[in-house]
Amino acid sequence: MSAVTSSLSRDQQNKLLSLLGHVRLHLLYKASVHGFTAAAFHGHCDKQGPTVIVAYNAAGFVFGAYTSKDYTQSGGAVNDEQAFLYSISAQENKPLRVGGISGQCAFTDVGTGPNYGALVFLHEDKPAFQSNPGTNFHFQAAALHGDDLVLTEFEVYRAEGLGGLLAKAWRNVQWTPEKKQQLMKKIQSYQSDIKTVKQARVALVGRVGAGKSSFFNSISSAFRGNMTSQAIAGTAASSVTTQFRTYTITAGKGGGALPLILCDTMGLEEKPDSGLDIEDLVNIYKGHIKDRYQFSPSAPILADAPGYRQKVTLNDKIHCVVYVVDASQVSILTQKMIDKFAAIRKKTNQLGLPQILLMTKVDEACPLVAEDLKNVYRSVFIQRKARELSESLGIPLSCVLPVKNYSEELELDQDTDILLFSAVEQMLNYADSFFENQVVEDQEVNDQAELYRSSDHLKEDLSGRIV
């Protein structure tokens, strides 16, 4: 199945947003991908809160309906004073907005396609609609849709309010050159509690397109001092990363290696036979999978495979796990994906690995953050998404870290670097927790061994005296 992406042009989206106010649009349903049927529409759009229908025809019109109410297939008439019809066309600078007729319902909540009376979409499960001006809404058919009743595309978006800015940031960040330098020095001078381990090994785990490879490239660029693209990154329906890769970061061109290895994994996918296999992930955690191993989504690696490392040391094992989630996709994480994260969390907990969650693309998720990255911890929307992730994935809010990857920039940015370095600092802190547990366990083993040795000596002495 092809990637589900919006058909709205930037100009069309801006015009639509001018009608909706300060909201974020989440694509829920696209008929060319999911099917031009009422069942497909309800399967993706029921109980989603405020939504906006976006219909397209060959006459060049983009038109539809907004409602602040849920679709539930209740069978009744739904009143909604906030509902309206609209139309966007290249010939008009401003979109057309049509309010409802006083005293009439907004739509009939039935199991067919969305029925707004004046507009009935997906009529008879076909790429078509009925136009009945005067039923619930008054409009001129030619102005609203050009009298072309055939749909070339049909989409539904959730319209999620962004809120504004908090009076006080929910985390304090020093956005200064001194703070950036402090973080860089702390990362470069990091040493683990175990002398034999020179580099903390961190695994990046996330769904396709979340920004795992882009995160590594961003960290590498920030330390190098210019944009780099060592890890393959991009957007696709399936994972761009198909190999297990371990990346070392250098401080400047030709500089020394940082005490950190970022391990990039194949993206997670909903289908059980697609994306990263959980058993492969466990083998990564345990250090069995070698660098550049080619993943096979059909079956996990076998112990006799060329890419399988039989003998492992603590250097080969993962010391911290970082889940990577796109901030703009939080609200539309499917239950299947949440269940997959839960299964991974269970395995990761069993191995005693500390876990962090990176919330990427915060600038794409919230316009206020795009305007000024310093708003990241003042954005009501970003805070809400962080809480949602914490609750749905079972990760403490203190472990959820918003970041912005470099994507279209050609120059480095101080605020972006500070967020990125702060995330790396936490990864090293959490790796320390893992190492401290190893030290305690090793000490307990040594204490036990010493106790047994002491007991053996005591038995020898006692037996000697008896003799």
| 62-78 pLDDT, tens digit each | 999 999 999 999 999 99
Nearest to 95 by CA among 18, 10, 6: 18
Within 260-413, residue ranges assigned H as helices are 278-285, 335-350, 362-365, 367-371, 380-393
Instruction: Give the pLDDT score at 242.
Output: 77
Task: Report the C-alpha gap between 421 and 108 in whole angstroms.
Answer: 52
CB 420, CB 362: distance < 8 Å: no
User: pLDDT by residue (tens digit) across 80-131?
Assistant: 999 999 999 988 889 999 999 999 999 999 999 999 999 999 999 999 999 9
pLDDT along the chain (467 residues), means of 10: 77 93 90 96 96 97 97 96 95 93 96 97 96 96 96 96 91 97 96 92 92 92 87 50 86 88 89 82 95 83 90 95 92 86 95 96 91 96 94 94 93 96 97 84 51 46 40
CB 301, CB 307: distance < 8 Å: yes
- In sequence order, what are the beta bridge partners of 87? 63, 96
What is the model's pTM? Answer: 0.74
405's CB contacts (< 8 A; 6+ apart) are 211, 214, 215, 217, 218, 360, 361, 420
Q: How far is CA 86 from the centre of its chain?
A: 31
Domains in the chain, CATH or no CATH each: 10-161 (no CATH), 177-446 (3.40.50.300)
Task: Report the C-alpha gap between 423 and 417 in whole angstroms.
Answer: 10
Task: Report the C-alpha gap between 379 and 166 in whole angstroms.
Answer: 6
- In sequence order, what are the beta bridge partners of 358? 324, 401
Instruction: Give the pLDDT score at 466.
Output: 35
Instruction: Give the pLDDT score at 400.
Output: 97
- Classify residue 450 by its DSSP letter: H
Instruction: Give the pLDDT score at 281.
Output: 93
CB 359, CB 402: distance < 8 Å: yes
